[in-house]
Structure 1
Amino acid sequence: MREMTVETLSYAQVAKMIDHSLLRPELTPAEVVAGCELAARYEVASVCVKPCDVELAAQVLKGSSVLVGTVVGFPHGSHATATKVFEARLAMEQGAAELDMVLNIGRLRGGEAGYVLEDIRAVVEAARAGGALVKVILENAYLSDEQKVLGSRITEEAGADFVKTSTGFAPGGATPEDLRLMRSSVSPRVQVKAAGGVRTLDALLEVMNLGVTRVGATATQAILEDFKARKAGTAQPAEKTGLQSGY
């Protein structure tokens, strides 16, 4: 596979990797509007907003190329399955086209693979009826490697579109080792999303070269301005910074 670099990529290829994250609990409606406007200006793939902000984001982004995404069972994954299905259906009614759901972490750690499978499958089936895609968050900070592999395989069996590393609200985020493990645990049909620690262009390029096709980011503007500057040859030399711990 050809290495992904600033020289080999277009702006659109990089921008459409990014889900601009607007999930911090303290964000006001005005800040959500500003974040959606930024996402539209930079033409990213989507915004990922809190469930209460889906209608607002859909209004702001109407007519743009940016999709509205939201979260289901967030951030702990411990909602009842029926509640997750309700959340998914309501979000789609209000304008969400992408759903980032948290699997049931405790049940996965407890070895209840069947429960986890049916929990994910129920949301996937609801999403299919509404035309949305599903990204399943494993929350790797709480899992062993064996559980990460199992969670990834269950995600594929349930019919979801993506497997995702993290919520951004746990002790750790995306790591190269986890991304390699997840990518190798699913077929090419299932895409991989990195979240937590992708705060620079170098980090985004690093995960792209590991097979990641979408990232959750709050530093969207800085990443894309850096890309434009490097592409134009006007960026100042700086130390490369890859994936970082914390948020």
Structure 2
Amino acid sequence: MSFNIASYIEHTILKQTTTLAEVDKVCVEASMENFVAVCVPPKYVLNAKKLLDGSRVKIATVIGFPLGYNVTDVKLREIDDALNMGADEVDMVHDLCALKNNNWKLLEDEIAACLKPVHDAGKVMKVILETGILTDSEIVKCCQLYSNFKIDYIKTSTGFADIGATVNAIKLIKANIPAKMGIKASGGIRNYAFAKELIDAGATRLGCSSSWQIMKEFRLATGG
């Protein structure tokens, strides 16, 4: 089967000023290109669901975004709302304050609590590490912790930190999680060459707001 980068892409719009018209555009483009998913702000999940009704494109949204320090009860409420509105996948920023305080027990308790309603509903959970502000040893320790839970994807970044996805971070994650766990690269993926580098390093999903440009470059590079 020939490689098609569209099957990796979550067409994403998460900027603070996102409008309904922009969400509509992202959904139409995702449907046209058969992207695996769209990733939209929680307030637009219902709109995306209506626009993509009957499509194979999944609806992803974000939890505890973008800073991660919401208390667990707030994240649980966000998850409940997202699932009730029809989200297929949730991308949750873990508690970076807990991490930097070396409070790994809090992170364990958080993921145990937040994963349950997602998997009970048969949906997908991604945990956003925000690798650009972590040391390599912190990334490894996160991978070791989350490997004890049946999360679906480790995700690199929110796109709001100064450093987004890197090849090094993808390789580090891949080396420290079970083979069955997915890896979502996100943040700063603006061209096909970099997107392909991340896939070659081990990424199984790409969160991109430049998806349309990436597809143009992909077709030029492959003749597709």
TM-score w.r.t. length of structure 2: 0.96
Match of 1:200 in 2: 191
- 1:48 is aligned to 39
1:126 and 2:126 correspond = no
> How far apart, in 2, do the equivalents of 1:26 and 1:192 lie?
28
| Equivalent in the alignment of 1:106 | 97
Counterpart of 2:3 (choices 5, 10, 13) is 10
Paired letter, 2:152? D
Could you give the per-residue CA deviations for residues 118-156 of structure 1, whole angstroms, max 9, x where no partner exists? 111211111011111111000112211111111122222
- What is the 5 A alignment of 1:77-226? 77-226=68-217
Amino acid at match of 1:24: K
Q: For the structure 1 residues 10 and 179, does the alpha-carbon distance in structure 2 shift closer, same or farther, using more than 3 Å as the test? A: closer
Cα separation, 2, equivalents of 1:89 and 1:154 = 24
Q: Which runs of 4+ in 1 moved over 3 A?
A: none
What is the Cα deviation at residue 231 of structure 1? 2.8
More displaced 10-residue stretch of structure 1: 47-56 or 156-165: 156-165
Q: Which runs of 5+ in 1 are unaligned?
A: 1-7, 234-247
Secondary structure of the 2:201 match is coil
Equivalent residue letter for 2:207: G
Q: What TM-score do you get using the length of structure 1 for normalisation?
A: 0.87
**Separation (CA, whole Å) in 2 of partners of 1:134 and 1:146:** 23
Shift of 1:81: 0.6
* Aligned pairs, number: 224
RMSD: 1.3
Provide the rounded CA distance (Å) in 2 between the counterparts of 1:78 and 1:89.
Answer: 18
Q: Does the CA-based 8 Å contact 1:46-1:69 persist in structure 2? A: yes
Counterpart contact for 1:152–1:185, Cα < 8 Å: yes
Deviation sequence 1:8-62 (CA, Å, 0-9, x none): 8433xx1110011110111111111111111111110101100101000101011
SS at match of 2:11: strand
**Offset at residue 204 of structure 1 (A):** 1.3
What percent identity do the matched residue pairs reach? 33
